[in-house]
A = this chain, B = another copy of it.
Amino acid sequence: MTYCVGILVEDGLVMIADTRTNAGLDDISTFRKLHLFEVPGERVMALASAGNLSLTQSVVAMLAEGVEDPETGTRETLYEAPTMFRAAQLIGRAIRRVRAIEREGFEAAQLRFEVSFLFGGQIGDGPMRLYMVYSAGNFIACTQDAPFLQIGEHKYGKPILDRAVTFRTEIYDALKVGLISIDSTMRSNLGVGLPIDLVVVRRGTARTEVVHRIEAGEPYFHDLRERWSAALRAAHRAIPRPPYGPPSSS
C-alpha cells in the first residue's frame, strides 16, 4: 500500500509520501514514491505515485527521458513543459504510453492497470498547481475549497485534513497536519510505513524550500506521534459521557 498527500495553501505546496511497497505482506520493501523535477528559480515539480510499482516507475522514467508525441514523433520531458497544465497532460500521455506497452502482458496475467499520481509545483511565474492524475491519464486540479488531494490508502488520514486544513493555513502548519494524517494512516494500516519523504515549495520561488526524509526514530516525528496520541486521548476524555445511560452511569 501507499499513502501520499498533497496540500496547496496560500503560501505554497506541501507533498508527503510514504515509501512502503509490498507484494504480499511477506515481501515489504522501501521505494521512493516522491520524485522531484527541479531547475531552481525556473521550475519545480513534485510527483508522488501510487499503484503498481513497475508501472509508476516506468511513467516516472518516461517523464525524465521524454514522452514521445505520437503525431510529431518528438520527445518531451517535464523539464520542457511550458505550464503546469501542459506538464499534467504530459503525465497523462506517459500513462497512456505505458498502458499501450504493458496492456498485453497485464491482460495475460489478469493484472489490473492501476496507477495514480499527485503532481504539484510551479513553472516560472505561472500559477502554482496541484493535480491528481488517474489511471486513464485524465486529471483534476486542487481548489481552494478543499486544498488537499490524496492517493493510495487515503481514508484513515482524511478526517484530520477535513477539519484542520484550509487555504489560509500556514505552510508549515499544513506540513504538520499532513504528517498527522500520515501518522493516522500508519497507525491503522501496516502497509503504510516509514521512512516518509516530504517536500515544501513556497509559492513564487520556483524552488524547493525543504526536501527531507523522515527515518524511523527521528525525534520530531516521534514526538509528533506521541503528542498526537496523548492529545486524542485527552480530547475524548474531555467530552462528557453520553446522557443515555441509567442515572448511576451518566
Residues of A at the B interface (CB closer than 8 Å) are 153, 155-156, 158-160, 162-164, 171-173, 175-177, 179-180, 184, 187-188, 198, 200, 209-210, 212, 220, 223-224, 227-229, 231-236, 238-246, 249-250
State whether A155 and B188 are in contact (beta carbons under 8 Å apart), knowing that A241-B172, A245-B210 are contacts in the complex.
yes
Q: A156-B159, A239-B176 are in contact. Are A244 and B200 (CB under 8 A)?
A: yes
A159 to B189, CA, bound (A): 10
Output the least CB separation between A192 and chain B (Å): 12
Q: Is A220 a contact of B242 with CB atoms below 8 Å?
A: yes
Known pairs A159-B187, A187-B159, A244-B175; A164 contacts B239 (CB<8 A): no
> Please, which residues of chain B bring their CB within 8 A of the CB of A234?
231, 235
Given the interface pairs A172-B241, A210-B244, the reply to whether A228 lies near B233 with Cβ below 8 Å is no
Interface of A is mostly: helix
Q: In the complex, what distance in Å separates the CA atom of A135 from the CA atom of B236?
A: 34
Copies in the complex: 2
Residue in B closest to A164 when the chains form the complex, CB atoms? B236
Given contacts A172-B250, A173-B241, A242-B175, contact A232 B160 (CB under 8 A): yes
Our pick among B159, B173, B179, B198 for the contact of A184 (Cβ within 8 Å) is B159
B229 touches A163 (CB 8 A): yes
